């Protein structure tokens, strides 16, 4: 552990000395996940002059690149900044250390080594499989159950007739369904609620960017990715 910290600190100091004024900050959306989860890598640069940058990320068998989004260069507090995103999907349990990531700026062709990133892909809990044979119901239990079901049939028929009668009396109202927007989704996410129906409508209408589509699917299918996480990720993408 001490050796790893020493290596990281030495790499950081060397980078600052060799490339004064040029810096890139890396951030993973999570450091622990499960196979099939979505992980986003965000890289933000800070330079005294207008420059774009690219990353060289070593390939890994258990990290599948899904999308890459390059943001514009902006000026803030007399420094230029650019934020880029890489979206990965994990494949299998593993402990990954990405220690060969480098950044290259347009005004300097020499790659800048960056601090390593670690990602732990865990395993799903095993199911408790009980091989004990199931106990079949006795004849008395089966007979009692059938008697109850026969008694419920008339009541179910009566309820069906009442509902059908009320349905005939109501005149249908045809309205054009409103077109869902990403702003409607953000408004509901701000209340810490994930509107699944609205998410599916947005996905089906194909009006989203590739990154927005991946983030919404992550919120729908990955329980650990909350409504607040989705809102922050969408806002970060818009500001980038």
pLDDT digits (tens, 9 = 90+) for 171-215: 555 455 677 888 888 888 888 888 888 888 888 877 788 888 888
Choose one of 105, 121, 137: the last residue of a domain.
121
Residue 106 lies in a domain: yes
Residue 164 lies in a domain: no
Residue 167 lies in a domain: no
Residue 197 lies in a domain: yes
User: Exposed, middle or buried: residue 226 (CB in 10 Å: 0-12, 13-18, 19+)?
Assistant: middle
pLDDT of res. 83 = 96
* Statement to judge: residues 113 and 188 lie in one domain: no
pLDDT in tens, 95-106: 999 989 999 999
| Number of independent structural domains in the chain | 2
Q: How confident is the model at residue 8 (pLDDT cuts 50, 70, 90)?
A: very low
3-state secondary structure of 137: coil
Q: Which CA distances in Å does 57 have to 25, 38, 97, 191?
A: 14, 17, 11, 37
Choose one of 121, 142, 162: the last residue of a domain.
121
Residue with tokens 């230029």: 80
Q: What is the mean pLDDT of the chain?
A: 81
The fraction of the chain above a pLDDT of 70, given in percent, is 77
Residue 130 lies in a domain: no
User: Using CA atoms, how far apart are residues 228 and 114, in angstroms rounded to an integer?
Assistant: 29
Averaged pLDDT for residues 127-132:
67
DSSP code at position 188: H
Averaged pLDDT for residues 142-168:
74
pLDDT of res. 107 = 86
pLDDT in tens, 64-91: 999 999 999 999 889 999 999 999 999 9
Q: Which CA distances in Å does 52 have to 55, 98, 121, 237?
A: 11, 22, 32, 17
* Statement to judge: residues 106 and 217 lie in one domain: no
């Amino acid at each position: 552990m001490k050796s790893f910290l020493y290596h990281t600190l030495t790499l950081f100091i060397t980078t600052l000395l060799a490339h004064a004024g040029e810096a890139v900050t890396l951030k993973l959306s999570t450091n622990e996940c499960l196979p099939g989860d979505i992980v986003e890598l965000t890289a933000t640069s800070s330079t005294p002059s207008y420059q774009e940058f690219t990353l060289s990320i070593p390939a890994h068998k258990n990290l599948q690149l899904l999308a890459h989004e390059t943001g514009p260069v902006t000026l803030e507090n007399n420094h230029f900044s650019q934020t880029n995103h890489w979206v990965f999907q994990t494949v299998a349990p593993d402990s990954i250390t990405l220690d060969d990531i480098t950044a290259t700026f347009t005004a300097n062709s020499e790659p800048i080594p960056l601090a390593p990133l670690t990602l732990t892909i865990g395993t799903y809990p095993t199911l408790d499989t009980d091989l004990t044979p199931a106990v079949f119901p006795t004849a008395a239990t089966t007979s009692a159950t059938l008697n109850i079901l026969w008694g419920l049939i008339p009541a179910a028929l009566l309820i069906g007739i009442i509902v059908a009668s009320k349905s005939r009396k109501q005149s249908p109202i045809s309205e054009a369904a409103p077109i869902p927007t990403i702003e409607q989704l953000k408004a509901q996410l701000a209340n810490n609620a994930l509107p699944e129906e609205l998410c599916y409508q947005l996905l089906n209408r194909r009006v989203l960017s590739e990154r927005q589509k991946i983030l919404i699917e992550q919120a729908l299918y990955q329980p650990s990715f909350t409504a607040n996480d989705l809102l922050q990720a969408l806002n970060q993408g818009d500001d980038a």
